[in-house]
Each structure stands twice: as C-alpha cells, then as structure tokens.
A and B are shown apart, each in its own frame.
Chain A
Amino acid sequence: MAALPKRIVKETERLSKEPVPGISAVPHDDNLRYFDVTIDGPSQSPYEGGLFRLELFLPDDYPMTPPKVRFLTKIYHPNIDRLGRICLDVLKSNWSPALQIRTILLSIQALLGAPNPDDPLANDVAQAWKEDQSKAIETAKQWTAQHAARPTA
C-alpha cells in the first residue's frame, strides 16, 4: 500500500486530539483510510438520544474526490436511503478539497437536525414526511429508540 498522504495523517491526528463534540472518527489499524464513525443525534431532533454508526472511506484520489460515507445504523430520514447512502451536495457535485472529514461529518450531523423531504433520496420516507410530518417524526423517534440505542455501560 502506498504511503499515507500527509494530509490524511494531519486530519487523523487532529480528529483524535481535538474531537468534534458529538462525533467520533477512528481509523482502522490495518487500513488507515477506513474510519469507524459515530454521530450523536442532535438535540431537539427526532434522533436525539441516539448513537448512529457510520463508515467513512477515503478513496485514493482524496482530497480531490470526496470521502465515501454511509450510515450503518438503520435510520428513518428522507435524505438517507435503506442502504445508508446519504443525499448531501457536498458529498457529490459540491465537494471541494477545502472540506475535511470533520466538516463533512458536521454537515451530516446538521442534516439529521434538518431533514429535507424536498430533496429526497428515500422517496417513500420523503413522501410520508410530506403527507404527515408529525407521524413521520414519531416513526423516526421509534426507529431511533429501536436501532440507535446507546450500549449500556
């Protein structure tokens, strides 16, 4: 495997030294481009109290191309589909190498706080969200309790 670019080393160091509140990203020992990520559900959102697991992979072309990020925890959200794929412009056409792992994870956390059913990836969820928002929020809360419960210590 080619040497890890300095930029990735720097980002990883900073993620562990100055972690973002409510977010953790830890690289695998045997693949330093592959991160185990957790994001706390934002307060005052249907995901509050949940702990969401994600995987993040830095492709060879990073930072010229965006990281690949996917939810591993099941989540009821109009912009996240059944496979955990995320509809977020900065992960696609609006990517810029000035963005970093931490900024991307912050954007994903913000997306949990502000679901956008008008730009859906999960069409059925978006549809439900538009038809009856309070019912959709109730479902999202149920899913959070069921799938994103914190491990009890």
Chain B
Amino acid sequence: MERKWYDKGEKTAREERGAGEGAMIDEERLKILTDGAKYDVSCSSSGSGRKNTRDGLGNASMAGICHSFTQDGRCISLLKMLMSNDCVFDCVYCPNRRSADVPRASVSPEEMCELVTGFYRRNYIEGLFLSSAVLKSPDYTMELLLETIRKLRTEYRFNGYIHLKGIPHADRALTERAAAYADRMSYNVELPSERSLRLLAPQKTKESVFAPMRQLAEEKREFALEYKRRTGKEEGRGRGKFLPAGQTTQMIVGASPETDGQILRLTQFMYRKYDLKRVYYSSYVPVVRDPLLPDVQAGLLREHRLYQADWLLRFYGFSCEEIVAEDGNLSPEYDPKCAWALRNPQFFPVEVNRAGVEELLRVPGIGAKGAYKIVAARRYAALTFEDLAKMRIVLKRAKHFITCGGKFCGAKTLERARGELILAERADGARQLSLFDGAEPLTLAASPEEKQFLLKSSPEAARAALTGQF
C-alpha cells in the first residue's frame, strides 16, 4: 500500500484507543445537562496561557477564543455542562432544585472526557466549563468533578481550558486538589445579600461561598510567593501552575430587591479581597414560578449598565463610591461614565493633547484603545478634531468633555450636553453590542506594541485596562 503523507507508521491516538469504543453520552442527557448549566453566563476562555505537552491535546489562548455564537448573541467558547442535575438542595429559583419535578440525568467521568476531547478535536470548543447540582452530598459531587478533570488532564492528556465551578460546603482538601487541574474556578454568590440568600437558597450561606474563594485566593498568593522564592522571578501570568485564569463569580440580578449600589459594593469587595478576575451578572429569567420570585424577566438594560459599571471598576480606575450611591441605582438614560462626568463637570473639559492617560480614560466615549491611539499619535503632532475623526475616535459623546488645541466643540451648556447625550444613547441603544461575555475585546484589540507602550508609559488605570487585572 502506498504510504500517505500523514502516515508516520505509528498508530493515531484514535486507533490506540479503538475507534468508537469510548463511552458516549446520548442527545437526551446532553440536552438535560446543558439546560441546567446555561444560566451560568460565563463562557470565557481567557486568562490562561497553558501550553500543550509533547503528546497532549490542546492548549489555552491568553485572549480566549469564541467558537460560535448563540441566537441570543452570546459567545460559545466552552462546553458548559453539569455532571448531574439531580440536586439535594432546594434553591427556589433553580429548575433543578430537589422539589422540582423534572427529568434527571448524570454523566460518568469517561463520558465527559470523550465528549470534551471529541468536540475539541473538531474545534467546536476551547475547553470545558464543568459544574454540577449537588448529587448526594457536596463532598460526593466535588469528588466526582475532581475525578473528571483529573482524568481529562492525566489520562486524556487534555491541555485545553478547564473552568470548574466548585461546590459550596465541600471539603477544602478537595477544593485545593481540583485547583491543581483547573485554569479557572468559580463559586457563585448567586444573590447579592445574605438575606436574599437565606430566603431563596436556604442551604447556601455567604460563608459557604466566600470560604473557598478566600482559600483559593490565599493559595494562589502563596504559590506566587513560593515561586518567587524558588526562582527569583515573578510568576508569569498564565504560566503559573496554580489557577492561571483565577476566580470568577456570578450574581443573579432582579430576583431579589438589592440596589445597583449594593451589588457594585459587593463586586468591588470581592475584586479587592479575593482577587477575582471577573464578576458576572445574570438577569433573572423566570424558569420557575414561585410566590417568592418575580414573574418578569429582569431588564437587559440593567444588566448592561452593571457590566459597564463593572468595567469602570476593573479597567478605568473608578471606585464604586464614584459610580453610584449605596442605596442608588445606575441611570438608565446614560452609561455610568457619562453619568459620572455630568455630576463632575469640574474635571472637564480636558485637553486631548496634554491630558494623562488616566484623565483620557475618564472621558465618556473614549475607551482604552482610543486613549492609546491619542497618546501614541500626539507624540508626532498636535491633534485636531479632524485627526481624531480620522483615527476613528467616536466624538459623539467625547466632544462635550474635551478640547483639541484649546478648541471646544461640544454643547454650550451642561443642560444641552445632557440632552444630546441622552439622544446619543437612544440612537445607539438598539445597536450596541452588549459587554455580556464576548471575547474580552480589550485584550484582543491591543497589539503587543500597544500593550508594551501602555504598560511602560502609564499608571495603574492603563495597566488594568490592558491586563484585565486589578
């Protein structure tokens, strides 16, 4: 027989395994277990630079990669599934709660591994987002999850992305062992206050979520210190062995009465205290009817505003106190940066040819990329409004807050500016791509030079804008 170009005379992995021998999940169970996982909005595969091994499958890409988009416009990056939807807990809002009458299903670790590697080779996914309902007990479930990702990493030699959603109340030794295999872990806060948690998720407590978060944050810090002691170098971002993509969490918005101010305070607390990489907000979708729950879907606009505010916290050097009062809500009329700028006219206008990166980042309508472009271009020549327009910097909002070589071309009074900004927002409203969970556009947008440049030349805020870290 003629030898083909790809034939190295060795067996392919598939032949070694025996074609079609592995246990496969059926469509019915896949449907049930996907349905149960999909209200977790995170699907991001960014933040880890895990490398492939010599005979392994896959690696992780720092910026994350989207493989498809659903009809609701969300990125599909990871295979997001439950190990089981058979729950002993009884959270009121959850379709899988013990008292619900729904079909139950579970998969075995082998079935999960076959599915993940089969999907990965076809380039359907970047990796796995694994979670589970509480099957039998928290420890039993956590062991099952641990066994699955252990198998995936060691037996299937899978080096793609793994996000593990941990089980609250599980033994801390299990949490620690799982973290050795995962790129990212999350424990969901679910509800923004202890009171709502008690009412709607009776078996969970704030502490049951914060305890593992704290544990992982401490272990990660220790790991970094230890690494430095050993090698004298900083733990490379993503190259460190311990949870390279850090931790995230999620809150359901609109199922309980907390204000945006409360939600953002909690968010800021977790970013600072537990070094979270991201907090996700999930607009409440009524899948379950109960007198304790609202009947209507929470507005997407509110979720959108929370994400905008969250970006200001993470990337633009704002504090929660600057954005919204504790008992207040974000303005539906304009984005939080606009709202802040209108409340603080004393900072404006700023001169585009002189302002620092931090000041530019606080101008409504100028993002990290725009600020970079301005700082890079003005080194060669003073910029005019025409230059900005040619550089594709959108001036619709920014023009009310900047001068170019002393010239101002925004509205004459604050009142007028307010009116124009509301109109701008309405015009964009329908078109705006949500910040929901895309491919982390910032990291994507910046070329290596841009990153280098911003990192060298600017203070904390710009650093955060690029690295996505606080």
A and B are partners in one complex rather than unrelated chains:
no
Q: Which residues of B contact A (CB under 8 A)?
A: none
